[in-house]
Amino acid sequence: MPKREPDDDAIQLSMLENGLDFILSGLKHISSQTSKFDLKYAVLHLSAGIELVLKDRLRREDWTQIFVNPEKATGEKLKSRHFKSVNLQQCLERLECCLVDPPDKALLKSFKNQRNPIEHFELNHSREALESSSAIVLGALIDFICEAYEDEELSSEESELLQQIRTGLGEFRRFTVARMAEIQPLLDDHKKGYGHIVVCPSCMQHALLADCDVQCAFCGYTASAEDAAELYIANMFGISRHYSMTEGEGYPLRNCPNCDNETLVFEEGYTETNGVCFSCGDTPPPGEYVSCDQCQELCHDEDRSGGMCPDCLKAYLSEDHR
Ligand SMILES: [Zn+2]
Ligand SMILES: [Zn+2]
Ligand SMILES: [Zn+2]
C-alpha cells in the first residue's frame, strides 16, 4: 500500500499543470521562431515538460516513488521540495512497474537525449526536424495522458492546457503531412534507383535516403551513414559508444552482413523492432541474423555451423582442424 499522500492541493495540482505549461511554451518557441535561440528553448521546455508530466503520473500512483529513495520519503520533504527526485529514466522504469499501459520509453527518452548536446550549445536541428519529432513524441505523450488520467482527475486549467497542446500539435501534424507529400517524388526517385528509405535520426520521419552519405529529404539532415547510425543510437537508446565502453555494455552497432558496413543498428535481444542499416537500407526483422560464437559478428543462421560464421569456420579449418 502506498503511503497516504499529505494533504496539499497546491503540490497536487502544480506538477501536471507546470509540465503541460512547459510543453505549450516549447511548442510556441517552435512555431513562432523569432531568434536562433528559440529552438534551444523549445527542446529544453519540451523535455522539462515531458519529465514533469510523467513524474506527476508516478506521484499519483504512489507519491513516495518520486523520491530517488522512497524509504526516506516524508510529507515534510515533499512539501518543502527538499529531496532528490527521480530522473526521467528512473521515472519511466517505475511507471513500467506500476502501470498496465506504460508510455513508450524509447520514444520519450529520445527527447531528453536530444537535450544534452543542446545544453552545450551544439544545437544542430532544423525547425522542420523539431516540428516533426515533437509531433511524434508529444503525440505519444498525449495518448499516454488520455490513457493514464481520467477526465475528472484533471483540473480545468490542466484540461485547457492539454487542449491548447493538441491544437498546436495538430498544426505540426498538418505541416508534416504536407511536407511528406512535397518530398514524395524525391523518395520515389531514390527507390527507383534501388535505394532504400529509412528513419531519420534527426526528425524521426521515414525520409532518410540510405547510402554511404545519407541525406534526409524531410529535414535536410546530412551525414555519413556511420554518423547517422550513431546519432540514431544516441537519440533512440540514449547511449554513446563511450558510455557503452565505460559501462562494459555492448554497443548496438553491428557490421551489416548485407553491405559489409558497420552501420547496422540491431539491439541484441531486441524482438519487437527491425534492425536498420543506414548504408544499404536493409531492415532485417528480429531473428533474421544470429551472432557468431567466436567473433560475435552477425550472419544468417543457415550459414553458421558449429556456432561459427563462415569466416571463423574457414579460419578454424585452416588451422588443421579438418
Ligand atoms: Zn530528417
Ligand atoms: Zn547494410
Ligand atoms: Zn565469426
pLDDT in tens, 159-189: 888 888 888 888 888 888 888 898 999 999 9
- Domain assignment of residue 310, yes or no: no
Backbone φ, ψ for residue 277 (5° rounding): -105, 125
Centre of ligand 1 to C-alpha 195, Å, is 17
Same domain, 230 and 258: yes
Query: Residue 120 — very low, low, confident or very high, per pLDDT cuts 50/70/90?
Result: very low
Centre of ligand 2 to C-alpha 108, Å, is 27
- Domain assignment of residue 303, yes or no: no
- Domain assignment of residue 309, yes or no: no
CB of 129 closer than 8 Å to CB of 221: yes
- Domain assignment of residue 3, yes or no: no
Same domain, 83 and 24: yes
Residues with CB under 5 A from ligand 1 (ion): 200, 202-203, 216, 218-219, 221
Centre of ligand 2 to C-alpha 229, Å, is 11
- CA separation for the pair 22, 158 (Å, rounded): 12
What is the per-residue pLDDT across 53-79, written as a single tens digit (0 to 9) for each? 999 999 988 999 999 999 999 888 888
* Integer-rounded Cα radius of gyration of the chain: 23
Same domain, 56 and 142: yes
- Domain assignment of residue 322, yes or no: no
**pLDDT for res 137:** 80
**pLDDT for res 321:** 62
- CA separation for the pair 74, 203 (Å, rounded): 42
Same domain, 28 and 149: yes
What distances in angstroms separate CA 161 from CA 16, 89, 158, 243, one per listed residue?
Answer: 10, 25, 5, 38
Same domain, 131 and 243: no
Burial class (CB in 10 A: 0-12, 13-18, 19+), 272: exposed
Same domain, 153 and 82: yes
Q: Where are the alpha helices (DSSP H) in the chain?
A: 9-31, 38-61, 75-80, 88-98, 105-119, 127-148, 156-192, 225-237, 241-247, 310-318
The total number of structural domains in the chain stands at 2
Centre of ligand 1 to C-alpha 16, Å, is 31
- Domain assignment of residue 226, yes or no: yes
**pLDDT for res 260:** 93
- Residue where a domain terminates, one of 132, 153, 181: 181
Ligand in closest contact with the CA of 257: 2
Q: What is the DSSP letter of 270?
A: -
Same domain, 177 and 213: no
Centre of ligand 3 to C-alpha 101, Å, is 40
Centre of ligand 2 to C-alpha 257, Å, is 7
Ligand in closest contact with the CA of 284: 2
Same domain, 123 and 211: no
**pLDDT for res 121:** 43
- Domain assignment of residue 128, yes or no: yes
| Largest pairwise CA distance in the chain | 78
Same domain, 177 and 199: no
- Domain assignment of residue 294, yes or no: no
Q: Which residues constitute the domain of residue 280? A: 194-287
Ligand in closest contact with the CA of 303: 3
Ligand in closest contact with the CA of 292: 3
Centre of ligand 3 to C-alpha 214, Å, is 29
Centre of ligand 3 to C-alpha 281, Å, is 23
Same domain, 208 and 167: no
Centre of ligand 1 to C-alpha 22, Å, is 25
CB of 61 closer than 8 Å to CB of 81: no
Same domain, 131 and 47: yes
Bridge partners, 258 (sequence order): none
Query: Residue 320 — very low, low, confident or very high, per pLDDT cuts 50/70/90?
Result: low
Same domain, 69 and 120: yes
The rounded mean pLDDT for the chain is: 83
What distances in angstroms separate CA 230 from CA 135, 149, 210, one per listed residue?
Answer: 23, 36, 14
Q: Which residue's entry shows cell 531568434?
A: 35
